[in-house]
Structure 1
Amino acid sequence: MKEIYEPKFVENLFDKMSSSYARVNYITSFGFSERWRRQCVEEPKIQEGKYVVDLMTGMGECWKHILKPSDENSILIGLDFSSEMVKRAKKRRHRHKDSKIEVLMENVFDNSFESGVADYVISGFGLKTFNHGQLVKLADEISRILKPCGEFSLIDVSVPQNKVLRTFYMLYLKKIIPILGKLFLGNPETYKMLGIYTEKFGNARNTLQIFDRPDFEVEYVEYFNGCASGIKGRKIK
């Protein structure tokens, strides 16, 4: 199933899910997705007047948490390659009229960011759509974008280690969520992919190993008994 990590495949998938993704994401996480986003954004303790990049921004679901400490000098740039997600992100931008927000429709591996421009890089629920080689490229790109001492925080849904919880959670993702996909989109196969991506992703420990390199200080973060996990860190040179 190598094709599931091809950028065009992922782009088309999220284009199809865009109309119902927010609702289904909330349902799949039993309502915890919003809390996990907030916790992910709060890890680096974003300060006023800083330049924040939100990779795989989707519809801008992390923005309200990113913008809490913002002021007139703060800048938020959201990036996503799904045209439908970007359309919805641009609509969401109107909720934050007093904030400097730009939305870019670009691939994370082929973007227009200058090197060393960002104080913080955030990403919510985009890791699972990358294979090992792409995660290596993601680490390179985050390192390029960040200023020295810049910080990052990344999160995604995960497979819990507890056997009982894991059995229930994966049954839910692989069997129940496709039914919701059929209800919302008339196509159970689209949302079936969320379970496939999550099962293959496992958790963010592999991501931790990839980001554990000389230019980063990085640590693993786990949420709600491993139903979500991520990494947070700092560029040290």
Structure 2
Amino acid sequence: MSEDIYDAQFVKGVFDRCSGKYIAFSLICSFGFTERWRAQCVGMLPDPITAGARGYDLMAGTGEVWPHLLKRFPDVGAITAVDISSGMHQRAIERLHAHRAHRIAFIEDDVLASDLPDASADFVVSTFGLKTFNRDQHRRLAALIARCLKPGGVFSMIEASDPKGWWLRPLYLFHLKIVLPTIERVLLRGAQDFAMIGTYSTNFGDASAFAEMLLAEGLEVKYRRLFFGCATAVAGRKPEALPAATL
């Protein structure tokens, strides 16, 4: 029987093994777009995030979104990073964010299994982690975000996506399925793991279905396509008070 690529331990193994070279691979092979998209994801967070605000970076990876978040909101009180990969977090602290460590806590766990408190977050962000979940897991994630946000809390999440309808889509898919695994096999010597990132991305499609799931949880949601749909994002807010159920 083939392995379930969405099983939490399978995902952990992939990203633990990728962690040492993930930052360079992501930046080079996306031609720098991943960094730009992280900045845009933070830019999509609705105002206000007040001084001392506390929130979550889900599927936090190497923490590359933290500089963008702290630049836009320098008075953020604390970020709790949740990720299943200990290797990715170690990389984040050692190479990127040692001087920010006092403002960042880490939970090493499957996000969907994490016992995050209700109404505990002023904000939730996530960059390039949605693809590692299947459709049922996306529904559970949408419910978790709605539960963890405080009334008035905000969120923004972005993911690399399949640009269906774009005339250059065949070139994009060639880059994703042929060029990236070749680069990895020749230069990084770990084709199975980095190639999985491409598999997750093509399986994901785009964030439109996830946007509907967030709406179903009572959140205010805006869906956005970036660079002809090569990335898609969802952002919005938890209402101050959810509307009363109609009879």
- Map of 1:23 onto structure 2: 24
| 2:90 corresponds to 1:76 | no
Please report how far the alpha carbon of residue 43 of structure 1 lies from its aligned counterpart in structure 2 after TM superposition.
0.9
| 2:24 corresponds to 1:5 | no
Q: Which amino acid aligns with 1:30?
A: F
Tell me the SS of whatever aligns to 1:49. coil
| Alpha-carbon distance in 2 for matches of 1:23, 1:183 | 15
In the alignment, is the contact (CA less than 8 A) between 2:142 and 2:217 conserved in 1? no
Paired positions, count = 235
| Alpha-carbon distance in 2 for matches of 1:2, 1:215 | 35
Tell me the SS of whatever aligns to 1:102. strand
Match of 1:187 among 186, 190, 199: 190
Tell me the SS of whatever aligns to 2:118. coil
TM-score (norm 2): 0.89
Distance change >3 Å, CA 214–CA 125, structure 1 → 2? closer
RMSD: 1.7
Please report how far the alpha carbon of residue 113 of structure 1 lies from its aligned counterpart in structure 2 after TM superposition.
2.4
In the alignment, is the contact (CA less than 8 A) between 2:55 and 2:120 conserved in 1? no
- Map of 1:37 onto structure 2: 38
1:131-163 Cα offsets, whole Å, 9 max, x none, are: 010000001111111101111111000111334
Tell me the SS of whatever aligns to 1:141. helix
Match of 1:116 among 116, 119, 125: 119
Correspondences of 1:19-168 after superposition (within 5 Å): 19-44=20-45, 45=47, 46-68=49-71, 69-71=73-75, 74-91=77-94, 92-96=96-100, 100-168=103-171
| Alpha-carbon distance in 1 for matches of 2:221, 2:166 | 28
Please report how far the alpha carbon of residue 190 of structure 1 lies from its aligned counterpart in structure 2 after TM superposition.
1.7
Distance change >3 Å, CA 230–CA 2, structure 1 → 2? farther
- Map of 2:212 onto structure 1: 209
| Alpha-carbon distance in 2 for matches of 1:47, 1:63 | 17
Tell me the SS of whatever aligns to 1:5. coil
In the alignment, is the contact (CA less than 8 A) between 1:90 and 1:103 conserved in 2? no
Q: Which consecutive residues of structure 1, in runs of 5 or more, have no partner in the other structure?
A: none
Please report how far the alpha carbon of residue 164 of structure 1 lies from its aligned counterpart in structure 2 after TM superposition.
2.8
In the alignment, is the contact (CA less than 8 A) between 1:115 and 1:144 conserved in 2? yes
Q: Which consecutive residues of structure 2, in runs of 5 or more, have no partner in the other structure?
A: 243-247
Tell me the SS of whatever aligns to 2:168. helix
Give the fraction of aligned pairs with identical amino acids, expressed as a percent. Answer: 38
| Alpha-carbon distance in 2 for matches of 1:211, 1:149 | 15
